[in-house]
Amino acid sequence: MGQKSGSIYLIYVVDDKPALVDLATLVLEAAGYAVRGFQDPLEVIAAIQQGAPVPDILLPDFDMPQMNGLELIRRCRRLQPTLKTIMVSGTIDPAGMGIESTTVNRFLQKPYSPATLRDAIGQLMSGDGTPGGA
């Protein structure tokens, strides 16, 4: 797991709570993924614009003060249209948030287990990008 042709999958984890970024990073690095953590969604956009490696998956929290995760996904998709995404949230219901299937590939409800996170990433990278699934 965690491999693509000749290199390791890169995942950007974005959450305004440092402990949640650290936890997701630990879980994903242990599964063999490369992870870059962000607490400010604006830093993600700036990093991509400045030529940082584009992630294979963007994993933002929905509820962040600077910008919600859905807007972050939309803005990153303007820069990288094929970007795969997994939205996480403990405050919203994905059915009621009006997410178009073209924006979010998968959704994870917080709290999620490490196994659930690893499975969601693995399924998405293996081609099962079912919108809204968990």
Judge whether 82 lies within some domain.
yes
Domain count across the chain: 1
Judge whether 132 lies within some domain.
no
Judge whether 71 lies within some domain.
yes
Judge whether 130 lies within some domain.
no
Judge whether 108 lies within some domain.
yes
Q: Which of 21, 88, 80, 24 is nearest to 54 (CA)?
A: 80
Sequence-distant (6+) residues with CB within 8 A of 39 are 14, 15, 16, 17, 18, 21
Averaged pLDDT, 81-93: 88
Binned at pLDDT 50, 70 and 90, residue 5 comes out as: very low
> Does the pLDDT value for residue 116 go beyond 70?
yes
Binned at pLDDT 50, 70 and 90, residue 134 comes out as: very low
Full-model pTM: 0.87
Q: What is the pLDDT of residue 68?
A: 93
Q: What is the pLDDT of residue 130?
A: 47
Q: Is 39 exposed, middle or buried (0-12, 13-18, 19+ CB in 10 A)?
A: middle
**Spatial separation of the C-alpha atoms in residues 103 and 69, rounded to whole Å:** 11
Q: What is the pLDDT of residue 76?
A: 95
How many beta carbons lie within 10 A of that of residue 54, not counting itself? 15
Binned at pLDDT 50, 70 and 90, residue 94 comes out as: low
Q: Name the CA radius of gyration of the chain, rounded.
A: 13
CATH code where residue 94 lies: 3.40.50.2300
Q: What percent of the chain has pLDDT over 90?
A: 70
Higher pLDDT, 93 or 30: 30
Higher pLDDT, 25 or 96: 25
Which one-letter DSSP state was computed for residue 111? Answer: S
How many helices, marked H, and strands, marked E, lie in the chain?
A: 4, 7
Residue 90 domain boundaries: 3-125
Averaged pLDDT, 56-82: 94
Q: How far is CA 12 from the centre of its chain?
A: 6
